[in-house]
Amino acid sequence: MTNAAPSIESFEDKNLSLQISRSPDHVGRCQRLRYKVYCVERGWYDEVRISKGHELDAYDNRAHHALLIRNDNGEGIGVVRLVIPSRDDDGPDLPIQEITPDPLTLIKEPLDWNRVAEVSRFAVTREARNWMPAAAYMNGADRSSSVPRSSIFSIFLMRAIVLMARANNIEYLCATMEPSLILHLGRMGIRFDPLGEPKEYHGLRQPCYASLARIESDMRRDRPDVHPMVFPD
C-alpha cells in the first residue's frame, strides 16, 4: 500500500459513527459491506471480483476506506473509498480510466494528476434507507438545517471523502456515478461536472469530476446549513 495507514479516525452524532482507516481489519469490514450491497442486494455476482463474502479489487490497496456505522447496534450501513493516484509517469491509473474512451481525456483544464483521486464504492445498504432515527447533528452543523434525515448518510460519506482527500493532498475528485446519485448530491450543493455521455458500466453511469475547492465554495454559498457537516474546520 502507498502512504502510511492511519489509525481509525471516528466522527459521530448520537446515531451514527464514521470510521476511516486503511487497516486490514477495517478494509475487510468495508469489503464485506460492499459484498452485501453490490452482490446480495444488487446481484452483481458476475460483474465484480468476490472472495469469501468480500467484494474487492486491485484498487483497494491504493485506497482509503470509510465505513458508516449505526451506534445502536454497531452495524455498518454505508461505505465509500477514495482511490489515490499511482503518482508515476504513466498517469493516475484510476478505475474511471477503464471506461473507453478514457473520460479523463475530456478534462480541458490543466491538472496535476498527482492531485486527482477517484470516489468509488459509494453505497448505503437497502435497510438503512428505511431507518429514520430522530434528527441529530454533527459538531458544527447548523441546527436549522433542512436536510432530510435520509441525506445524513450521504453527508457523512462526503465528509469522509473530504477528510481522506485532505490527508492525501488531493485537489480534484473524479467518479463514475449513477445519475440519481449525482442529482441527490447536487441538491446538497455537491456538484460534479459530466465527462461526456453516460456509459454502461455496472449499469448506466455518468463519468464526472469536480474541484474540491469549487465544491466547498458552492456549498458555502448555496448550502451554508450543510457546509460545516461536509467541510470540518
pLDDT for 139 equals 47
Question: Counting Cβ atoms within 10 Å, is residue 222 exposed (0-12), middle (13-18) or buried (19+)?
Answer: middle
- Contact, 102 vs 153, CB < 8 A? no
Model confidence at 6: pLDDT above 50: no
Within 8 A by CB and 6+ apart from 137, the residues are: 13, 143, 145, 229
pLDDT digits (tens, 9 = 90+) for 161-215: 999 999 999 999 999 999 999 999 999 999 999 999 999 887 899 999 999 999 9
Model confidence at 27: pLDDT above 50: yes
Model confidence at 61: pLDDT above 90: yes
pLDDT for 8 equals 58
Cell digits for 141?
452543523
pTM summary value:
0.90
pLDDT digits (tens, 9 = 90+) for 117-167: 999 999 999 988 777 665 544 444 544 455 666 688 999 999 999 999 999
The Cβ-side half-sphere exposure at 53, using a 13 Å CA radius, reads: 4
Domains by residue range for the chain, with CATH: 9-230 (3.40.630.30)
The closest alpha carbon to 194, from 89, 99, 122, 123, belongs to 99
